Structure formats: C-alpha cells, structure tokens
Amino acid sequence: AGFDTMEVVVTAECGPSPGDDCGHWDYEAFVHWCDNQACDGERREVFRWITPYARAGTRRWVFEASPMLALLRDGGTQYFQFGMRWNMNPSTWDMRLRLRNHSGDKAQTLIPAFVGNKGFNDSYNDWATVEFTPAANASRVELVALISGHGQETSNCAEWCNHQHEFTINGNATHLREFPGQVVDQGCAEQVDIGVVPGQWGNWTPGRAAWCPGLPVQPWIVDITDEVQLGAVNTIDYQGLYGGSPVTGSRGRILLSSYIVVYE
C-alpha cells in the first residue's frame, strides 16, 4: 500500500509450431482486478493487450500500471483474473507485479467512469453523466482510459478507421482522443522496435485504431487537476464521434475502460 509505481509483467508460451496450441488470430487479452476470489462481483480492467497471430514461442509484455495501484491501497489478499476472449487454445501464462517506491504521488482512489464493450452505433452514446468527488488534499487528479476499436463494418470501423472519443470535465474542459495517423498500411510493422511481435502469420502489418497484434493497448492519461474542484462534486461526460460528429450507423465496437484516479 506504500508503493507509488506498479508494472505488470506477463509471459505467455505456446507452440512449438504455429499449428500447435497457438491461437491463429489476434485475440483481445486482459487482466482484471476483482473484489473476490470468484471474480463474480466488481471488476476493474488493469490493462489490455492483443495477442499475435499464431506466433509460437515465448512472448513477454511489460505494462506500466501505476494508476491502478489505487486498487491495492488497502493491502491484504488481492485477486486478479487474466486471459483472452474467445481463444480456448491451451497455453502457459505467468503474471507478476513489480512494486516500487520512487517517493512520488501515490494513487489513492480509482473511480470508474465509462466502461463497456459496446457496438459503435446510434445507441452508443447513451452514457449518463458521472459524478466524482476528489479528496480535498489530493495532489493530482487524472483521467485514465483504455480505448480500442474492433470489427470491420461500415467504413471498416472500428478496427480500421479513425474515431474520436470526447471527455468533458464539469461541462467546460474537453479532451479528445483519436487515432488519425495510426490506421496506415505498415502502421504495426513500423512498431516492431517498441514491442510488436515480428514475423506473425496473419495480417499483422497494417495499423489499427489504438492497437497492434502483439502489443499492449497504451493507456491514455490526462492530468485534469486544474479542471476540478477538490473536495467537491465534479462531473465528467463522454461521447464517441466519427468524422467529428456523434456516431451513427453500425461501425464495429469500442472496448472502453475509463477511470478518474486521485493521487495524494
């Protein structure tokens, strides 16, 4: 509970050949913090990554997850769930936490904002306003979001198109997350030097909206300290946009986990 830095290290092993146990597609993988051992109550997504196409061998990912330390502040036994959606192929997984103290601010409170795996369509923006009250003695307040687009429907969305995600604090300050330069022919191949698994068997080279096969989905972190009132009720609103306007039609789906994180 006294640490201010957390990294999550995940190692996966499958093989020895591409047709032996390794998933043939790029699967969404996750780690959730759970409030009980059965993981059938409250859950929070700690991080997300996408597995590579049918790549045999051992892969290792390191995730910077310091904002999620707020989940561990009470100490004691903690429960995590990790795995992949859809892929039931047998493989070996190892997850470890690295906890450090660099004498910085500590994440003390994590407030869920907008969380869902929703179709990016006419009903996508039925989100309600979220209220939150940061501690009066908070040293920093952040908006932390994991956003990735999936599916290939109208306009090849939401995997192969640029879409926008607008968060508004107290009805005034607006922050926009979008992916204008990521959906390009060799967008993922060009990221081998920062961790994309090379030599995959599928269509791994083109860039996607916020992700690549064999790479973590990077959290988007915005310092909103100057936009909130400490010790008072604040609001945050969210909407998804396509082409700068509220999304319409059927454009795949968005996988979203967003939080307000308060530091002291």
- Separation of alpha carbons 228 and 135, rounded Å: 11
Res 143: pLDDT: 99
- Please determine, for residue 20, whether its predicted confidence score (pLDDT) is greater than 60: no
Least confident of 15-29, 30-44, 138-152, 186-200: 15-29
- Separation of alpha carbons 97 and 114, rounded Å: 26
Res 17: pLDDT: 60
Sequence-distant (≥ 6) Cβ neighbours of residue 117 within 8 angstroms: 253, 254, 255, 256
DSSP state of 71: G
Widest CA span of the chain, in angstroms? 57
Sequence-distant (≥ 6) Cβ neighbours of residue 21 within 8 angstroms: 14, 15, 89, 90, 91
- In tens, the pLDDT along 94-132 reads 889 899 998 789 999 999 999 999 999 999 999 999 999
> Which of 234 and 186 is assigned the larger pLDDT?
234
Q: What structural domains does the chain harbor?
A: 5-263 (2.60.120.230)
Structure tokens at 162: 């640029």
- In tens, the pLDDT along 141-150 reads 999 999 999 9
Q: How many residues does the structure list for the chain?
A: 264
- Please determine, for residue 258, whether its predicted confidence score (pLDDT) is greater than 90: yes
Res 104: pLDDT: 83
Least confident of 4-18, 102-116, 189-203: 4-18
Q: What is the chain's mean pLDDT, rounded?
A: 90
Contact 198, 213 (CB under 8 A): no
The per-residue b/e assignment along 27-66, b for 16 or more CB within 10 angstroms, e otherwise, is: bbbbbbbbeeeeeeeebbbbbbbbbbbbbbeebebebbbb
- Please determine, for residue 19, whether its predicted confidence score (pLDDT) is greater than 60: no
Sequence-distant (≥ 6) Cβ neighbours of residue 260 within 8 angstroms: 110, 111, 113, 130, 132, 134, 141, 142, 143, 144, 224, 236
Res 157: pLDDT: 95
* % the chain with pLDDT above 70: 95
> Which of 160 and 91 is assigned the larger pLDDT?
160
Q: Looking at residues 236-263, what average pLDDT do you find? A: 97
Res 166: pLDDT: 98
Confidence of residue 87 (pLDDT cuts 50, 70, 90): low
DSSP state of 25: S
Question: Global pTM?
Answer: 0.92
Confidence of residue 90 (pLDDT cuts 50, 70, 90): low
